[in-house]
Structure 1
Amino acid sequence: MSKTTRATQFLHRQKVQFTVHAYEYDPNADRIGMQAAEALGEDPARVLKTLMALVDGKPVCVVVPSDREVSMKKLAAMFGGKSAQMMKPVEAERTTGYVVGGISPFGQKKPVPTAIEQEALKHDLVYLNGGQRGLQVRLNPSDLVRLLDARTAALASD
């Protein structure tokens, strides 16, 4: 497995402190984010999943703890839209340039507006997909917000 991806290259170019963590990816896992947390032996609240969605038909990136689900109503409201829905896997891969299970918010083919669940900011360090299946990067969540010029709010379903 290569530990150099578009995501890690992006982080290096931005001179951000991060570490890379490989784990055994299970393509048959029911919840990929939870499987990553378990494989890393980390609290699921610190292992964030990257989701691609559409708000009024426009692509957005959503980052939430792996043990939470996104409220589409809250997501739409955050971006001033009327409706939100998850992007189809094929469309997410085309938009990001990554394969599902390996989508990182960093180094996407075309940058899109990003939303981050505010609960993620409570941790000193968080894990995110590093741009390929079985690869996570660990960094300070404030760097995540700054690098992606992300909006933060309560996005998880109640």
Structure 2
Amino acid sequence: MQTSSSHDTDSLKLATAVQIFVAKGGVINVVQDGESGESCTEPTITETPESDADADILIQAKVELLKGLIAKGAGVSALQYSLRMNRKDIKRLAYENGLTIRYSQPVRGNRPERQKDIATVDDVVAGHAMHYSSLGYTAPEIAQLLGLSIRDVWHIGKAYRIEFKQRAVKE
């Protein structure tokens, strides 16, 4: 009788899996002929002290990474991605180590103070606004680049007859 190569490969894989299982401390109960395997309990793997030490090292590495990311201002979503943990575990780990996660940080700085009266705009600032407009910048972007309020940029556009690009609103 000739055996197929897939049967040989499957038996090698099974033998390797059994060796790994036994090496990790697993116990295989042999069922005698005539008895059923239903009465046997499920095999269990007892944890060794080595795996506890590996887990402690892994947790300490995650705590150090967490500290570094929090210092850089990372939010919970970035921490989830970097640590490969869920939100609940990240919050628990931070609490246990006395770390505070900042949840909301503005991307852009504070808005410029709005002036009560309309400031007289010189030709240089208007020239810059016209240049940025020709490059395709929107009024809020021009305001941020020039350090003006959006209202001031619109007033420049009105006074110098500049048309600013507007973002298309999707419906």
TM-score under structure 2 length normalisation: 0.17
TM-score under structure 1 length normalisation: 0.18
Q: Give 1 or 2: higher strand fraction.
A: 1
Q: Which structure carries more relative contact order (alpha carbon 8 Å, separation 6+)?
A: 1
Task: Give the number of the structure whose alpha-carbon radius of gyration is greater.
Answer: 2
